[in-house]
Amino acid sequence: MSWGTIITIVVIAAISIVLSIFFSVKRRLDKKSQSEPNPELRQAYQEIRRQIDQGHAASGRFL
């Protein structure tokens, strides 16, 4: 294998890991905001999710 192939495989693996972690965090926030009995925490989870979405809108949704 050439160095270019190895680097390509490593980059694809890193991107896959980052995307899976990112979507996992979003799912956990959604789940916690729906099942949280404390209204203050529920509001905080919803605000975090809203800020994540606004950040992606501002960056052109590159991530």
**CA angle, residues 52, 55, 57, in degrees to nearest 5:** 110
Q: What is the pTM of this model?
A: 0.52
Q: Has residue 11 been placed in a domain? A: no
Which run of H or E residues covers position 57?
Answer: helix 39-58
If pLDDT is split at 50, 70 and 90, which confidence band does 8 have? Answer: very high
**What's the pLDDT at 7?**
95
Provide the 10 A C-beta neighbour count for residue 16: 10
If pLDDT is split at 50, 70 and 90, which confidence band does 2 have? Answer: very high
In terms of pLDDT, which residue wins out, 43 or 25? Answer: 43
Residue 44 token pair: 């905080």
- Domain containing 54 equals 23-63
Q: Has residue 61 been placed in a domain? A: yes
Q: Has residue 12 been placed in a domain? A: no
Residue-averaged pLDDT of the chain = 84
Q: Has residue 59 been placed in a domain? A: yes
* Rounded Cα gap, residues 56 and 19, in angstroms: 13
* Rounded Cα gap, residues 39 and 33, in angstroms: 9
